[in-house]
Chains A and B, each alone.
Chain A
Amino acid sequence: MNFGYLIVVSTSTEVDYTQLAYALALSIKNTQKPGYDKVALVIDDPHQISRFNSAWVFDHVIPWDKEIHWDGRSWMDQLSPFDETVCLDADMLFLRDYSHWVDYFVENSELYVANKAYTYRGEPVTSDEYRRTFTKNDLPDLYSMYTFFKKDSELAKEFFTLGRYILKNPKEFSNLFLSVSKPKVVGTDEAFALSAKLLDITDEIAYELEFPRLVHMKPMIQNWPWPADSVSDHVGFYLNKKGQLKIGNYQQSDIVHYVEKDKINTEMINILEEIAWKK
């Protein structure tokens, strides 16, 4: 098996995505067993990683600058150096061994896109606060932040090719297929969902499973009885020296998509590095 995780970032003046990718890669090395802990980083400016103490956490560094920001993820099938890949968002943290999920996907799927998210209290997200486009246009509820695919899959190739085409022609696809509620921006989630719908492959790539379990930290989907601008106004984010994370008083064990980029600072990086060095 030649499996690995893929992270695609590009330089931004507002957010240090490379540092977020570094934190994620450290957390993968710290928690996944050998054979399931490979990480490839796709980045527009590979020199950026020379500033990190443990750049070795990136097994592959792939220079690529054809797209900016998240749009680059739609090229994951062409960029990944692995036969089997899970492509992740950079602002995520791994907190325990999830390799059994990978075993399942390698055994049973060519392509699988996460289609459920959880609050930090482990409740399924039911609000469509940030996903009106999905509900109003009857799109499958796909989350591209965890996408498994096999490199040799024709299904995956067709899916990503159409996804890229949608991202390149957002107005046309919005007008034709998302007219009930047009998104401000057609992002990767919308493009993937529309691609799945148009190809009629939702049942093949997003069927009911209890995993991957992804904690999504956008504020308005936490099932709170009050409106919120940011999660950290209401609950704390506590990463201890063992790399264990509590949000409020809830111990986290699933993959956390923390959303607020300032959660990863030099101190957090130092914690993750020390764990990696001792492993």
Chain B
Amino acid sequence: MEEIIDDFESWLKNYTPVEIDYYATFDSDTGKVTAVGPSYAFTDEPHKVAIDREMAELILEGKINVHSCIIDMRSNTLEIAEIKSVFKIDDVLHRIISKEWTDIEKPDIYITYDRSKKSLKFQMTEEFSGTYKLDKQFQPVVQRKIYWDGETVMNFLITDYNDPNILHKMISLKISDLIAASKTFRSLDLPETFSVYTRRIFKNYVIEIK
């Protein structure tokens, strides 16, 4: 039955929007997410899990490809597999920002160049079973389950500072190289200033030059 509002002003003043719960439906055999939307859209779906609003909006806006999402059926949580579809130049040729110029607090991939040792060390965040320890404020770290092809190769282009047109070196490693281990390249005599570019597989990359 419809509601008649006598005093619209006071109703509007006291109105609290209904909180929408978001759900993801999935294939129960593979765990692959098939759809994402508000709970009322999936009342008859047998296989669904609640997901947070922020994640749902990113998927609905197309910022995260729904085909990259998988339900971890042990914990009933939505996890994002590696992002393989890249469209923008910043995804294809992503400049890894230096630690001094970024606000990123939780890098997925952390690179350290030690000028005295001429070594370039790659680490993945402990959230993905890597060796890069996150700041105290994020401890204890909840491991994110990521379903990737461990054989995926990550290429890193070492170029002139802020100029990917001038290439000095290219370094390649596999994602699996960074699980429970770091990977260090030695005897790398790099210019005084340089940048590192990569195809963006993870969201956040940071480089520190010591």
Contact = CB atoms under 8 A, between A and B. Distances in A.
Contacts of B101: 265-267, 270
B89 A232 contact: yes
**B contact face: mostly helix, strand, loop, or mixed:** mixed
Contact of B164 (A236, A239, A265, A266): A236
A121 interface: no
A223 to B, nearest CB: 17
B140 to A, nearest CB: 32
Given A266-B101, A267-B101, A233 B163 contact: no
Interface string A231-261: 0111110111100001001000000000000
A238 B161 CA distance: 9
Contacts of B164: 236, 238
B90 A240 contact: no
B139 interface: no
Interface in B117-162: 160-162
B196 to A, nearest CB: 14
B10 interface: no
A20 B87 CA distance: 28
B48 to A, nearest CB: 34
Contacts of A265: 101
Interface residues of A, number: 15
A233 B160 contact: no
B175 interface: no
Contacts of B161: 240-241
Contacts of A270: 101
Nearest to B102: A267
B66 to A, nearest CB: 21
Contacts of B89: 232-236
B63 interface: no
B104 to A, nearest CB: 13
Nearest to B95: A236
Interface string B48-73: 00000000000000000000000000
Contacts of A249: 165
A239 B165 CA distance: 12
Interface string A82-105: 000000000000000000000000
Interface of B: 87-90, 93, 95, 97-98, 101, 160-165, 193
12 contacts: A233-B88, A233-B90, A236-B93, A236-B95, A238-B164, A239-B162, A240-B161, A241-B193, A246-B163, A265-B101, A266-B101, A267-B98
